[in-house]
């Protein structure tokens, strides 16, 4: 059964047409950016740069393309629209080829008895940060020592656990990844027992440009975590990483540093669409950078049993991913939305609400899953 097979052909055709309207590929944006241009001037370069960045090409790659385009224009003086389109496609293909031909860094899996590193990954709006906060809280309430690393420049996990994301970057993950601090220097206590955090703020968004010349930057977080993972005095059972909702250098860093992934999946069609893309990224990382990476489990979120689509997506996810899908499904619940504004996990904000009960059930299932993994090993 295909991942979208629960739709009839008519419904699938309508969805496909809708997706065509809402999903723009990078070359479509570039074509519009250069349409009608008679010369490549500063305004044209700005439009091209904007088109590349809004297509999630990445700041570093965008700057390389713009730099090469400026060199080409300086040499040839004039490029018409067709030549410009061809040049951009050629340069992007060359950059991809350069990336594929780069010598792979030898990866050695550390053998340690340290904490288990879990990355919670997903597209925007699926409950990723909410899952990090409440899994961390649930584990800590059950006596497990947990460290949360907020790797999202928005800093929502930081504020959701009662700390400020506006403070000096010297005490955040940014100062670790730019080489100014050791990771042990920026760990902060939360007001919750057994739960520590490394905070984030908006300064982290500039890291990709700042580390452009570092060939090992994808391993930076992993290298820094080694001091905790290899330290017998480190008392953490779990390190949970909250990452940005889009694929970026920060996401790659987290994927390289993690042992396993927990993937929140909103029970709606477009979340399934995003999950298929995420799976491809995970396979690339596993093949080239982190061979031990695995999906620990998929957590259904924003589930509404009154909604037929929620049930259909659940059925399709369970058919496709089998036992990887947790039995627990987190329902839509207003208390889940309110808790972050008070700087506390919902498990503490309202322990009797449906969202709180679901996350505590998920935490117990998560721990039970670990026992099964250890037994199988």
- Written as six digits, the tokens of 198 are 């490394």
Ordered by where they begin, the domains of the chain are 23-101 (1.20.120.140), 116-376 (3.40.50.300)
The span from the CA of 170 to the CA of 176, in Å, is 8
pLDDT tens column, 269-289: 777 777 777 888 888 888 888
Helices H / strands E in the chain, number of each: 16, 8
- Written as six digits, the tokens of 195 are 């739960």
pLDDT tens column, 313-332: 888 888 888 889 999 999 99
pLDDT tens column, 104-152: 433 333 344 557 889 888 766 778 999 999 999 999 999 999 999 999 9
Distances 169 to 202, 268, 344 between C-alpha atoms, Å: 9, 37, 22
Handedness of CA 220, 101, 26, 120 (dihedral sign): negative
For 284, counting Cβ atoms within 10 Å of its Cβ (0-12 exposed, 13-18 middle, 19+ buried), the class is: exposed
pLDDT tens column, 30-69: 666 666 666 667 777 777 777 766 555 555 666 777 777 7
Distances 285 to 252, 255, 258, 282 between C-alpha atoms, Å: 8, 7, 11, 5
| Average pLDDT over the chain, rounded to an integer | 79
Q: What element of type H or E holds 213?
A: none
The span from the CA of 25 to the CA of 364, in Å, is 42
Q: Give the rounded percent of residues in the chain with a pLDDT score beyond 70.
A: 74
* Cβ neighbours of residue 56 closer than 8 Å, sequence gap 6 or more: 246, 247, 248
């Amino acid at each position: 059964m295909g991942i979208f097979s629960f739709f009839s052909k008519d419904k699938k055709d309508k969805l496909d047409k809708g997706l065509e309207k809402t999903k723009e590929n990078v070359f479509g944006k570039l074509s519009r950016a250069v349409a009608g241009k008679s010369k490549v001037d500063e305004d044209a370069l700005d439009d091209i740069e904007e088109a590349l960045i809004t297509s999630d090409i990445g700041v570093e790659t965008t700057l390389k393309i713009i730099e090469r385009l400026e060199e080409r224009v300086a040499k040839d003086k004039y490029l018409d629209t067709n030549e410009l389109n061809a040049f951009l496609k050629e340069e992007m293909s060359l950059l991809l080829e350069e990336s594929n031909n780069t010598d792979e860094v030898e990866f050695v899996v550390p053998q340690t008895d340290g904490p288990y590193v879990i990355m919670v990954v997903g597209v925007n709006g699926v409950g990723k940060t909410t899952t990090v906060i409440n899994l961390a809280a649930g584990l800590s309430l059950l006596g497990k020592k947990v460290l949360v690393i907020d790797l999202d420049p928005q800093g929502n996990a930081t504020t959701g656990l009662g700390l400020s994301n506006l403070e000096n970057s010297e005490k955040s993950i940014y100062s670790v990844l730019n080489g100014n601090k050791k990771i042990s220097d920026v760990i902060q206590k939360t007001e919750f027992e057994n739960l520590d955090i490394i905070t984030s703020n908006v300064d982290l968004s500039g890291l990709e440009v700042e580390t452009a010349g570092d060939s090992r930057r994808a391993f930076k977080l992993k290298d820094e975590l080694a001091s905790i993972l290899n330290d017998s005095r480190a008392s953490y059972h779990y390190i949970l990483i909250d990452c940005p909702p889009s694929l970026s250098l920060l996401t790659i860093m987290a994927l390289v540093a993690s042992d396993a992934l927990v993937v929140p999946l909103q029970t709606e069609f477009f979340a399934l669409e995003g999950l298929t893309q995420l799976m491809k990224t995970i396979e690339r990382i596993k093949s080239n950078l982190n061979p031990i990476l695995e999906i620990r489990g998929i957590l259904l979120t924003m589930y509404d049993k009154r909604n037929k689509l929620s049930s259909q997506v659940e059925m399709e996810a369970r058919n496709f991913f089998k036992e990887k899908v947790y039995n627990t499904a987190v329902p839509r619940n207003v208390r889940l939305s309110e808790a972050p504004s008070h700087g506390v996990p919902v498990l503490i904000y309202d322990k009797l609400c449906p969202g709180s009960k679901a996350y505590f059930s998920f935490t117990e299932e998560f721990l039970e899953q670990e026992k099964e993994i250890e037994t199988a090993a």
